[in-house]
Amino acid sequence: MHASHAIHLPERSPLWKVFWLYGVLPSNLLWLAVAWLVDHNQLPGATLGLLAFLLGYTAWIVAAVWKAAPNAKDPRYGVMAQALTVAWAINTVLIAFFLGLQMVRALVGG
């Protein structure tokens, strides 16, 4: 199995890699892009698209962390990673929903 397949098979990847490199880093970069677009009132349609992508990505990373959790050396880290990822996902869904409403309003012309 090649390393390039690890992203598709998180259950075979180390938890730290899935959590930090596939989860925390990309999620924060995506939110940084959303924040910049919202702050500069730029491209509400692109912002909506990015929010939709972020929601799909968030669903994927929750499943990936869940599958990789048993790979942690200490089982407590697996449980913490799962809990933190679920909390992050809830936060993402709520913020994406309210920002999405704002973007739709901007697109409709309100």
Q: pLDDT per position in the chain (110 positions), as tens?
A: 555 554 467 778 999 999 999 999 999 999 999 999 999 988 888 999 999 999 999 999 999 999 999 999 999 999 999 999 999 999 999 999 999 998 888 888 86
The pLDDT, as a whole number, for residue 110 is 62
The pLDDT, as a whole number, for residue 27 is 97
Q: Where are the domains of the chain?
A: 15-109
The pLDDT, as a whole number, for residue 99 is 94
d(CA 31, CA 61): 15
d(CA 29, CA 11): 24
Q: Is 74 exposed, middle or buried (0-12, 13-18, 19+ CB in 10 A)?
A: exposed
The pLDDT, as a whole number, for residue 79 is 98
The pLDDT, as a whole number, for residue 6 is 46
Question: End-to-end alpha-carbon separation of the chain, Å?
Answer: 53
Contact present, 15 and 71 (Cβ < 8 Å): yes
- Which stretches does DSSP call E strand in the chain? none
d(CA 34, CA 28): 10
